[in-house]
Amino acid sequence: MTTGVTPDGARDVDAETPAVPTVATSIADEVLAEAAEVVENAPSGMTVWLTGLPSAGKTTLARAAAERLAGEGRDVQVLDGDEIRAYLSAGLGFSREDRDTNVRRIGYVARLLASHRVTVFAPVIAPYAAARAEVRALHEEVGIPYLEVHVATPLDVCSERDVKGLYARQRAGEVSHLTGVDDPYEVPTDPDLRIDTAGQSLEESTGQLVAAVVGR
């Protein structure tokens, strides 16, 4: 270390400061390169929209597939239709206009999450084909993969399952506008995947869905 003195007799602090040694950054560079590779090779986000009648098994199937993919290291999120109704669309009813608004809202949230590499499962009845097409277009316009899955459980099986008691309440006259009974459901004519949960086990249906997601 050198000691410097300025012409007026003051100490030159800069002259006393030792030079900072140069540190090899090879390890840091390797870490950054590995991190970049992980990000580059990580699965891109996508939205998996499961449409079908009430009690068709949409949410059960979505959660089972999400759990399996999460176990394989994917970031996943299930947008439960009932939860969205309670928190994001609490003020909406069940007219066609309100149903379509609810679908658009869920579609936007799904796209937002998928843009951050999240695999989003949206088990939502979405009874009208036009609204489902809007959600697909919302994703396609920004290049986010979108998979429409028709959970094609027959009405009689859904009515027998009646997970939430809706069919029983409709028969008792306590509720109206039940999709597939006294409100229309437009069956997808050309979905990306069609799953009949009545004809196979949950494990088989989950395997079918996961394979479609991974292969997308």
pLDDT digits (tens, 9 = 90+) for 26-67: 655 554 444 444 344 445 899 999 999 999 999 999 999 999
pLDDT the model gives residue 112: 97
pLDDT the model gives residue 26: 62
pLDDT the model gives residue 11: 52
> How many Cβ atoms sit within 10 Å of the Cβ of residue 196?
16
- Listed ranges 16-20, 28-32, 87-91; the one with the highest mean pLDDT: 87-91
CA atoms of 175 and 198, how far apart (whole Å): 25
153 contacts 142 by C-beta, under 8 angstroms: no
63 contacts 76 by C-beta, under 8 angstroms: no
> How many Cβ atoms sit within 10 Å of the Cβ of residue 108?
13
pLDDT the model gives residue 41: 45
pLDDT the model gives residue 30: 55
* pLDDT above 90: percentage of residues in the chain: 74
pLDDT the model gives residue 44: 87
Q: State the distance between the two ends of the chain, measured CA to CA, in whole angstroms.
A: 64
Provide mean pLDDT across the span 136-163: 97
More confident residue, 32 or 133: 133
Angle ∠(47,137,153) on CA atoms, nearest 5: 55
What mean pLDDT, rounded, does the chain reach?
Answer: 87
Q: What is the CATH number of domain 45-214?
A: 3.40.50.300
Region of poorest pLDDT, from 11-15, 32-36, 77-81, 90-94: 32-36
Region of poorest pLDDT, from 2-6, 69-73, 168-172: 2-6
pLDDT digits (tens, 9 = 90+) for 160-208: 999 999 999 999 999 999 999 999 999 999 999 999 999 899 999 999 9
In the chain, where the domains are located: 45-214
pLDDT at 108 over 80: yes
pLDDT the model gives residue 8: 54
CA atoms of 78 and 62, how far apart (whole Å): 7
Provide mean pLDDT across the span 123-137: 97
pTM of the predicted model, to two decimals? 0.79
Chain centroid to CA 30: 33
